[in-house]
Amino acid sequence: MTRNTVRAWSVVHKWTSLVSTAFMLMLCVTGLPLIFHHEIDEIFETHGAYEAPPLGTPTLSLDTMLATALAGRGGEVPLYLSFDEDRPVVNFTTGPRSNASDKEMHFASFDWTSAQALPPHQEGGVMDVLLTLHVDMFMGLPGTLFLGFMGLVVFAAIVSGVVLYAPFMRKLDFGVVRVTRSSRVKWLDYHNLLGVVTVAWLSVVTLTGSINTLSTPIIQLWQADQLAEMTAPYKHLPPASAEASIQEAVDTALAAAPGMRVQFVAFPGVAYSTEHHYAVFMQGATPLTKHLLTPALIDARTGELTAIRQMPWYAQALLLSGPLHFGDYGGLPLKILWALLDIATIIVLVSGLYLWLSRRRAPATDPVVAQLREQPALAPAE
C-alpha cells in the first residue's frame, strides 16, 4: 500500500470517527442496559407482579378475551393482539379508530386463563427513557433516520480502521501492548487491540442498527409490494369490520402452518394488515425461526384463509436485525458477551478521542502523533 493510499484511508478514518464518536458513545452507553431490558424489567417488576397459573390450566376463547379487553373502552376498536412467550398472557392494543396514533392507543394485558386484567406496564421509567434516546433521541422518525446514517458513518470508520491496521502495526506483533512505553503509546496499543477484537461484533451491531432505523419504509414497501399482491381481489371492495371470530381466525391460520405459533394479530385497517383482513403473524419454534414471521391473511367477514406467504427477504432482514442487535438469540450467555463487547467498544471510542485531543501536547516524534498525522507509525517495538 502506497503512502498516498494510506494517507487517504487515514483521512477517512479520522473524520468518520470524529463525526460519529459522540453518537456512538451515546448508543453504546444506552445500549448496555438495554441488552438486559427483559431481565431488568423482571427484577423491578415494571410489568407488575404476576403469579402465573399452574401449567396445563385451560385458556379461554380469544373472543372472550377480546370482549373483556373492549369492555369499558368507550367504543374503541381492537388494533393488535399479542401473546407473551413465557406466560399465559394476552395483550390487546385498542384505539378510537384503526389509524389511531401511538398516543391514542391503549395497551392492556390479561391472564389468558381467567381474563383478569394485569397491572399495567410502568411507562416513563429509566429503561423507557434509555430506549427512546437509543432509538430516536426524542426526535421521532427524523432522529431515527439520522442515527441510521450515523451507523453507516461508523461502518466507514470500521472499514478504514481495518485497512489501516496492517501498515500502522507492521513493525509490531499482532495484539502487542507496549506496557513499558508512555501512557499515550499504551493507550494507542489498547485502542488498536480492542478495535481489532471488536471489529466483527461492532460491524454486525452497526449494520443491524442501521437496518432497524429503516423499519417504517421497509414495512411500507412490504405493504405496497407483497401485501398488495396478496390482497389484489379486495382492492375495490369497501373496508370490512371485524365480524369473523378472532379465535377461529387464529385456528385457521395455525391449521395452514403446522408447528408454528402465533406471535401477534393485526386487526383490519392497521399498518400490518389490510382494510379487509385479520393478519395473523406466526413464528417458528427455534431461537432463529421465532424471529422469522409468516403472515396469514384471514377474511375479516367470513373467517376464510385468503393467503399465507413468508415475508420477503428485506422484511425478514428487518425482523432478524432487531434481536441480533441486542444479542437476543442465545439467552443470557450471549447477552453477557454482547455487554462485554459493548464495554470494549466504549474503551475504543474513549481512547481514540483521548489520543486525538491530546495530540497537540505531544512532541512531533511521538509515535501516536505520527499515526494521527496520517502516516504509518514508524516507532520500533520495545
Helices (H), the chain: 3-34, 37-44, 62-70, 126-136, 140-168, 183-197, 199-212, 215-222, 228-230, 246-256, 313-325, 331-357, 367-372
pLDDT of residue 177: 72
Cα separation of 240 and 207, whole Å? 40
Residue spans of the domains in the chain: they are 3-17+137-213+329-372, 42-123+216-325
Q: Which helix (H) or strand (E) holds 280?
A: strand 277-283
The per-residue pLDDT for range 72-119, each reduced to its tens digit, is: 888 899 999 999 988 899 999 999 999 998 889 999 999 999 999 998
The per-residue pLDDT for range 242-296, each reduced to its tens digit, is: 889 999 999 999 999 998 999 999 999 998 899 999 999 999 877 777 888 999 9
